[in-house]
Every structure is written in structure tokens, then in C-alpha cells.
Amino acid sequence: MKIHKEGLKVIPIAFFTIAVIDVIIYIFLQDFRIFYFLMAASLVFAVLVVYFFRVPRRSVVKNDSHVLAPADGKVVEVKEVFEKEYFKDKRLQVSIFMSPLNVHQNRAPIGGKITFIKHHRGAFYPAFVEKSSHLNERCTTVFKLKNGKEVLARQIAGTVARRICIYKKPGDHIEQGAEYGFIRFGSRVDVFLPLNAKINVEYGVNTVGGKTVIAEI
């Protein structure tokens, strides 16, 4: 396991802030019982910040017929919808909610060419609610197999998440299961699939990014 590059930007700032707060607590509250609680809480928070940016090592089994989960989390929706941004037709949607304790690295559900990327500014409703899919800040990425089949993955910011990171651009090629983005602090990823796709997950199932086969196309 290693620390994600996004963490290398955030962790030093977080640790400095925690250190300053701890000094203030020591100066003004060291003679009170709450001092020990606050110091313990700051230590727990520091550990959680590092834990959030962890990147576990995973082996990816590549298969052009499989759609892999783009994120760690919990399936909160499986339904047929009208996808109006790119496909402009009916698709099967699988939504994965990522809590602040999940790994927040996003992985390519299929391998191939990235044909479309678009970032939208928006609101910050809780990522587990349905309206977050089209009202929240989000970034849409479309992956295309050599056989022409396409899968759309939409990163959605939540109430706490305030930054969506994307590391690819249209025209880039990517291996199945490779990293293409990251979302900070709690979020969601919606995956849009062809109507004839065989869905292998259901509501409440926990997924592992780059490992769980959520569908077959």
C-alpha cells in the first residue's frame, strides 16, 4: 500500500493544522480533563487523513467482456435510465457510493480509448441521493473498447467531497483497471451500460475498484 499523490498535497497541510491546534489546546486546556480527549481526537483525525489517501496494491484480471467496478464502495442504485448527456438514450445505471473510509482512487471499468470527458460545476447534495447524479459537481468520462462498445463513468462530488480529479484526456488509451481519477472525501460514481448488459451486482453489494465485475457486455 502507498499514499496517493493527492495525499502528498493534502497531508502536510492537515498535519500542520493539527499541530497548531494541538499547541493551542496544550496552552489553554492542559489543566482540564477535556485536554486528553482533544489530543486523542487529533491523533485519530491525523490517522484518518492518511488512511483516506491510501492506495492498496491490486492485481487486475483484464477481460473485454467484463465491466469492473470503478470504485470501492456500496451499490446504491441499479436501474434503467435515460442518459441525456452523451448517449442520449436508455441505459442501465449502476451507482456506487464511496464513504470517507473507502479507497477513493477511480479505475477504468473497461480498457480502450477515452472518447469523451466533461466536467460540470454544480451543487453538493449528499452523494447517496438520486438527484446528486444530475445536480452535483461531476465529471463524465466515456471509455470505448476496440469493438466499439462504450461505458460511461460519472464521478460525482458529495457534501464533503469538493474536488474531482481526472488524470486523462480525450484520445488517451487506458488499460482496464488502471487509475483515471480520484475524488476527495466521500462521493459517488455512476456507471452507464448498454441495455443488453448482464448486471452482476445488486443494491447493497460492496464493490472493490478494479476487482469486482459489476456487469458483462
Q: Which residues are catalytic?
A: 187
Q: Please, which residues have CB within 8 angstroms of residue 5's CB and are 6 or more apart in sequence? A: none
Residue 169: DSSP 8-state: -
Q: Please, which residues have CB within 8 angstroms of residue 189's CB and are 6 or more apart in sequence? A: 70, 71, 73, 95, 96, 98, 106, 153, 154, 155, 156, 183
Cell readout for 105 is: 482512487
Number of neighbouring beta carbons within 10 Å of residue 184:
21
